[in-house]
Amino acid sequence: MNPRFYRKFNYDKSLLPNQLLRQKEESVVDLESAQNETGKTVGYPGWNLLYYCCLCSLDPESEHTIIETGTNWGFSTIVLAQALKDSGAKGKIHTIELDENNLKIAQNNFKSAGVSEYIDTHLGDSLEILPTVISEQILSFAFLDGNHSMSHVLQEFAMVEKRLKPRAKVFFDNTEDIGQKDDLLVFGALKVIEDKFDGNLVRFPYCSWYTPGQAIWEKPYG
């Protein structure tokens, strides 16, 4: 099966929520140049879906904890931090990355984007680090985008779901079915989440790339 993608390149770069993203995207014309500039990030329009979903979930009069797994080069982290900054609320993004070199690149990008003060970084396996990071936190938003195996996604989700406040959101990337049989990846994890957890799940199939699709799950009241 040929890879499908819905990352766009011919668009108004002023729509992006952070100046570093706008700068990086100016020279991007295809997937190869996109990876060279911003790594394995979701790109546009996925960045903006993530930004507005997070921004519209944050009460400006409250303090917020936001979780991200899979920092990569930090561009989605920047989007989350910009949303927190623009909300006017207090809080932190806690982002977890397995690869030390990726995390160093991300930290430099945070400085260039002007959002370092909103971000705490954690190096290691998310399944080992998450319990410590969230043990005393009530979570407003989570972006689970690290290891995409079905088992790993479900373990991450089970951890964060317990700490989510009512109406908090969990954002997923690479959500569509690509016909993989041995491991249904994020697509399979979302089917389990729909079956076993209350809450609302909304899918956005026509964004992101290699695997396409994003989804947002909201925790209900009660």
Domain-wise residue ranges, the chain: 13-218
The pLDDT of residue 3 is: 61
The share of the chain scoring above pLDDT 90, in percent, equals 93
Structurally, at CATH architecture level, domain 13-218 sits in: 3-Layer(aba) Sandwich (3.40)
Query: Residue 2: is its pLDDT beyond 70?
Result: no
Least confident of 2-16, 51-65, 102-116, 141-155: 2-16
Q: Is the pLDDT of residue 158 over 80?
A: yes
Query: What are the backbone dihedrals phi and psi of residue 41, each rounded to the nearest 5 degrees, phi first?
Result: -95, 175
> Other C-beta atoms within 10 Å of 48: how many?
18
Q: Per-residue confidence at 144, pLDDT binned at 50, 70, 90?
A: very high
Residue 1 confidence (pLDDT) above 60: no
What pLDDT, on a 0 to 100 scale, did the predictor assign at position 30? 93
